[in-house]
Amino acid sequence: GESVGLHLPTLSVQEGDNSIINCAYSNSASDYFIWYKQESGKGPQFIIDIRSNMDKRQGQRVTVLLNKTVKHLSLQIAATQPGDSAVYFCAENSGGSNYKLTFGKGTLLTVNP
Amino acid sequence: KAGVTQTPRYLIKTRGQQVTLSCSPISGHRSVSWYQQTPGQGLQFLFEYFSETQRNKGNFPGRFSGRQFSNSRSEMNVSTLELGDSALYLCASSLPLTSGSTDTQYFGPGTRLTVL
């Protein structure tokens, strides 16, 4: 039969705008969270990570926010560029190991020039 | 420093056959994890190897197996292939958490397996 793909949330922004990608994680025991970017035909690329003893971490043009109360993670991208267009995944170590990650279904970010 | 490499990049097999995929981690990395990515199920963890031992395992049938060699290179094998095994198989390597190290997983480009 025909396979049903995951319905990917999508976010479309204008070049130069800020982007916010959200993720609800599943396991309240998770204590390590990562954001990955995947471009078409490539493997996931590490963007930024955060541990549960923090609620905010900043990188170059990116910020990750963690709200453990509502099990929510967000990725903020400042001054979004066309090269940021990709699928973004959040991941958590819900299996208790940082080497066994559980991934969200991803968000497709499209940046319009 | 070279990234994670996976071979082959593309593979076509028929149902019932078996397949072996290879992964070379980043130099110095000792942990290798494997994931399956499909449109229907997304990214799912298969297993993780460290120092030639399987440390973590996902919820996949026994047809999926792997191993790691003394140089940290890893292979995964899928026996008796089914149509549903068509997927992108991703390998990720990391440096186990020791003093001054990080456990960030870095992914390779994947092997695209098509089962006919």
The stretch B83-102 carries a mean pLDDT of 83
Query: What pLDDT, on a 0 to 100 scale, did the predictor assign at position B99?
Result: 52
Distance CA A108, CA A39 (A): 10
Q: Is the pLDDT of residue B96 over 60?
A: yes
The strand pairing partners of A49, in sequence order, are: A34
Half-sphere exposure of A78 (CA within 13 A, CB side): 7
Cα–Cα distances (Å) from A55 to A49, A52, A59, A71, A73, in that order, read 11, 7, 14, 11, 9
List of chain B residues whose C-beta atoms are within 8 Å of the C-beta of residue A34? 104-105
3 state SS of A28: coil
Least confident of A27-36, A89-98, B31-40: A89-98
Closest to B103 measured CA to CA, from A59, A31, A88: A31
Which of these, B52, B94, B5, lies nearest to A93 by C-alpha position?
B94
Q: Which of A8-22, A97-111, B11-25, B89-103 has the lowest mean pLDDT?
A: B89-103
For position A96, what pLDDT does the model report? 74
CA A94 to chain centre: 16
Q: What is the dihedral of CA B60, B62, B64, B68, to 10 degrees?
A: 110
B39 and A3: CB-CB below 8 Å?
yes
Q: Is the pLDDT of residue B80 over 60?
A: yes
Residue A111 has pLDDT above 70, yes or no: yes
Q: Which of A43, A100, A106 sits opposite B33 (nearest CB)?
A: A100
Cβ within 8 Å, pair A43-B4: yes
Residue-level pLDDT at A100: 86
Residues of A with CB under 8 A from a CB of B: 3-6, 32, 34, 36, 41-46, 49, 89, 91, 95, 97-106
What pLDDT does residue A1 have?
37
Contacts of A60 (CB under 8 A, 6+ apart): none
The larger pLDDT score, comparing residue B100 to residue B61, is at B61
> Residue B34: is its pLDDT beyond 60?
yes
Nearest to A98 by CA among B72, B56, B11, B29: B56
Residues in chain A: 113
Name residues whose C-beta falls within 8 Å of residue B85's C-beta, 6 or more positions apart in sequence.
B78, B113, B115
pLDDT of B62 strictly over 80 = yes
Query: For A62-74, what is each residue's pLDDT tens digit?
Result: 999 999 999 999 9
Q: What are phi and psi of A84, to 5 degrees?
A: -85, -10
pLDDT classification of A6: cutoffs 50, 70, 90: low
Which of A85-94, A96-105, B13-22, B101-110 holds the top average pLDDT?
B13-22
pLDDT confidence bin for A4, thresholds 50/70/90: very low
The pLDDT of residue A75: 97
